[in-house]
Amino acid sequence: MNGLTTAINLSPLARAIFAHMERAGSISAREAMADYGITSATLTRRICDIEAAGIVIHRERRKHPITGRLYTRYSLSQVEAA
């Protein structure tokens, strides 16, 4: 994690999600469940915590190519990722 996350008061889980987005570029509820064992509601709350700390998060609605189900992919804004 970079100095930004240590300077911001985030929970350990929110820091892990932020670090995941830094490394992988984005995160979905399915990835959060597989990687961190959390529900989509918990991911959404941690994303809100990250936003409350002043970090801009981009939300993109996508359709799964196999199942056709809609889901949201969260990523750091280009301003934050740069």
pLDDT confidence of residue 54: 93
Quick: pLDDT tens for 24-75: 999 999 999 999 999 999 999 999 999 999 999 999 999 999 999 999 999 9
pTM for the complete prediction? 0.82
Tell me the torsion sign for CA atoms 8, 10, 15, 17. Answer: negative
Amino acid sitting at position 70: L
The pLDDT tens digits of the residues spanning 5-30 come to: 555 789 999 999 999 999 999 999 99
pLDDT of residue 8: 73
* Burial category of 18 from C-beta neighbours within 10 Å (exposed 0-12, middle 13-18, buried 19 and up): buried
Residue 11 belongs to domain spanning: 3-81
Return the CATH number at 60: 1.10.10.10
